Amino acid sequence: MDRSSMEERKEAIRNGRTTLGIELGSTRIKAVLMDEHYAPVAVGNHDWENRYIDNIWTYTLEDIWEGVQGSYRNMAEDVKNRYGVTITTIGAIGFSAMMHGYMAFNKDGEILVPFRTWRNTITGAASEKLTKLFEYNIPQRWSIAHLYQAILNGEAHVPEIDYLVTLEGYVHWMLTGQKVLGIGDAAGMFPIDLQKKDFNERMIRQFDELIASKGFPWKLRDILPKVLVAGEPAGVLTAEGAKRLDPSGNLRPGIPLCPPEGDAGTGMVATNSVARRTGNVSAGTSVFAMVVLERELSKVYREIDLVTTPAGDLVAMVHCNNCTSDLNAWVSLFREFSEAMGMETDTTKLFSVLYNKALEGDADCGGLLSYGYYSGEHITHFEEGRPLFARMPDARFNLANFMRVHLFTALGALRTGLDILFKEEQVKVDQILGHGGLFKTKGVGQKIMAAAMNTPVSVMETAGEGGAWGIALLADYMLHKEEGEPLDRYLADRVFAGNAGTRIEPDEKDVEGFERFMERYTAGLSIERAAVEAMR
C-alpha cells in the first residue's frame, strides 16, 4: 500500500467513513471493517464451539458476548497495529449470524430456556403439523417449529414468552433496543408474504387459531420481531450498547445499524448472488445452496426451504446440517500422524496437499463410501448422525480416493436436495458462486462442487471474507444507496464491477463419477441408519 492510500485509510477510520460487519458463525465469530471502496481494512476473529447439553445444541449468553466482544476487540487491535488509529466511531454496523433457531425471552428480557440452535433436529412433530396446516414447508430448524414443539411438549416457559428472535436479532436488540430482523432471516422464522414483505398474515391467523385453546397471554405477531428489508434503518447504537460491544469505552454511541441478517442472506450479498438465476453455495460446518427463483415452485417439498434475499425476493434453499466437520477431523488425524513422525504440520499446507491429492483419485472414489453425519440430516431423514467410513474388500483404497470420498460425501445430502430443483422443477441457474471453508484450498472444492451440481462454479477473492463482509456491505447499502437503487444493481454496478471471480466448468468425467457415487451414497443410507441404532 502506498503512503497516500495508507493516509486515506487512516482518515477514513478516524472520521467513521467505514462500515463494520460482524457475523456469528458456527465455529468462528468474525468482524470485518470495510472502507468506502468496499475493501476490508481490518479483521478480527474469535473461535467458539457449540455445547451439547441435555440433548440440545446450544451456546450460552456468556459465549455470545465473549465472542462478539472478542471479535470486535481483535479487529480494533488490528486497526491499531496497522494504522495507529483507535476506533471511536464507524459509519454503520451490521450483525449477521446462523439462521433459524429459538431464543425466547420474558418481559424482563431474560432468556427462558437455553438457546436452541439450527443444528437441533428435535421438532419433527411440529414441523410436520405446521407444514400440513400452512401448505408451506416448515423445516425443523425454523423458529416457529421450535415454538410449536415447545407447546406440544407442554414446556412451562411458553406462557411467559414476550419476544422470540434469532441470534443476530438478539445481539441487535441488546445493542440498539430495537426488536427488528432482516427479511432474509425473518423468512427462516416464519413464512413471508412476498408482496407485503412481511410475515404471512393468513398463516399467523392459522397459528393463533391452532393454539387458541391453550389460552396463552400472547398472540404470535406480538412476540415476533418487526420485518425490515435491506436498506431500511434499524436503529442506532445506544450508550449501553456501545459499552457492551466495546468495553474499553473507546466506541461512541449513535452509530446507525442496518437490519440484522442471517448468514444465508449475507452469503448471497458477499457473492453477488441476489439477482434471479444466480445462486451461491456456502460450504463449511454446514452447507447450504441458495438459488434465486424466477417463479414459485409447483408444490411443497419438505427438502426445500423457501426464504428470501435481503431485498425480499424468493429463494429456494437447500440446507444440510453436515459438511466439512468429518473431513476436518480426518485432516486433524493426519496432522497428528505428521507430528508423531516429527514432520512439518502447517495447517494450510496440510489441507492443500490432502485436498489436491483427492483430484488424483478415481472419478467415483474407487468404490469407497463415507457419511460425515455429526448430527441429524433432515434431507435424508436422520434425527441423529454417526460419522462412518465403509468399503468393499476389493475397493480401490488409497489416499487419493479416501480424500476424494470425504469431499464428495460432504456434498451428498446437498445434491439430494438440489436434484429436486434441477431435475423435478427445471430451475435454471447461470452460475453458482462458492464461499466458505471448503473453497479455501484453491480450485479443489470448486471443482468438486462443479461436478456435484453440473454447473459452472465461481469463487471470488473477496468470498474468503464471507458473511461478515456481506453484512458490512448491507450496512454500506443502507448508508449510501441512491433513491430507487435496488440491492442487485448496487452490488453489480458498484461493489463487483469487473470482478467475475475465478470460474471452473464442470468436468464430464467428474460429473459422471459423482453420479455413480450418489447411487452408492443413496443405497448405503441403510448402513448409516444401522450405525445410529447400534452406536448409543
What's the pLDDT tens digit per position in 60-97? 999 999 999 999 999 999 999 999 999 999 999 999 99
Does one domain contain both 350 and 498?
A: no
Measured from the Cβ of residue 300, the count of other Cβ atoms closer than 10 Å reads 14
- Is the distance from CB of 414 to CB of 287 less than 8 angstroms? yes
Does residue 463 register a pLDDT over 60? no
* Any domain includes 213: no
pLDDT tens digits, one per residue of 136-161 = 999 999 999 999 999 999 999 999 99
In angstroms and rounded to an integer, the radius of gyration of the C-alpha atoms of the chain is: 23
Determine the average pLDDT of the residues in 48-67: 95
- Is the distance from CB of 334 to CB of 354 less than 8 angstroms? yes
% of the chain beyond a pLDDT of 90 = 84
* Any domain includes 124: no
* Cβ contacts of 532 within 8 Å, gap of 6 or more: 382, 384, 385, 386
| Residue among 516, 404, 511 nearest 450 (CA) | 511
* Any domain includes 338: yes
Does residue 4 register a pLDDT over 70? no
Determine the average pLDDT of the residues in 391-400: 97
Measured from the Cβ of residue 345, the count of other Cβ atoms closer than 10 Å reads 14
Q: What's the residue count for the chain?
A: 536
Does one domain contain both 486 and 373?
A: no
Determine the average pLDDT of the residues in 222-250: 98
Report the pLDDT value the prediction gives residue 448, as an integer from 0 to 100: 97
**DSSP strand pairing (305-308 vs 314-320):** antiparallel
Does one domain contain both 446 and 500?
A: yes
pLDDT tens digits, one per residue of 208-218 = 999 999 999 99
Does one domain contain both 479 and 438?
A: yes
Strand partners, 40: 34
**E strand or H helix at 488, and its extent?**
helix 487-489
* Any domain includes 461: yes
Does one domain contain both 477 and 514?
A: no
- Rounded to the nearest 5 degrees, what angle is found at the Cα of 98, between the Cα atoms of 260 and 287? 130
**DSSP strand pairing (287-292 vs 314-320):** antiparallel
Determine the average pLDDT of the residues in 285-293: 91
Sign of CA dihedral 241, 243, 247, 251: positive
Does one domain contain both 362 and 310?
A: no
DSSP, res 159:
G
Does one domain contain both 528 and 475?
A: no
Q: Kindly report the CATH number assigned to the domain that includes residue 470.
A: 3.30.420.40
- Is the distance from CB of 417 to CB of 320 less than 8 angstroms? yes
Rounded distance, CA 40 to CA 37, Å? 9
Report the pLDDT value the prediction gives residue 322, as an integer from 0 to 100: 95
Measured from the Cβ of residue 482, the count of other Cβ atoms closer than 10 Å reads 8
Does one domain contain both 402 and 342?
A: yes
Does residue 462 register a pLDDT over 80? no
Domain total of the chain? 2
- Is the distance from CB of 136 to CB of 188 less than 8 angstroms? no
Does one domain contain both 522 and 490?
A: no
* Any domain includes 352: yes
Does residue 57 register a pLDDT over 90? yes
Does one domain contain both 372 and 433?
A: no
- Is the distance from CB of 325 to CB of 373 less than 8 angstroms? no
Query: What are the CB-based long-range contacts (under 8 Å, 24+) for 218-225?
Result: 218/161, 218/162, 220/190, 223/161, 223/162, 223/163, 223/164, 224/164, 224/165, 224/186, 224/189, 224/190, 224/199, 225/163, 225/165, 225/169, 225/173, 225/179, 225/180, 225/181, 225/186, 225/189
| Residue among 257, 97, 249, 104 nearest 177 (CA) | 257
* Any domain includes 228: no
* Any domain includes 301: yes
Report the pLDDT value the prediction gives residue 465, as an integer from 0 to 100: 64
Report the pLDDT value the prediction gives residue 365, as an integer from 0 to 100: 98
Determine the average pLDDT of the residues in 184-199: 96
Rounded distance, CA 504 to CA 85, Å? 41
Using CA atoms, how far residue 64 sits from 118, 262, 392, in Å, is 15, 16, 45
pLDDT tens digits, one per residue of 311-336 = 999 999 998 999 999 999 999 999 99
The three cell numbers locating residue 102: 429459538
Please provide the average confidence, as pLDDT, over all residues in the chain. Answer: 94
Does one domain contain both 341 and 380?
A: yes
Rounded distance, CA 406 to CA 261, Å? 31
In this prediction, residue 464 has a pLDDT band, given cuts at 50, 70 and 90, of: low
Does one domain contain both 314 and 329?
A: no
- Is the distance from CB of 91 to CB of 16 less than 8 angstroms? yes
Residue 491: which domain range? Answer: 270-320+429-504
* Any domain includes 464: yes
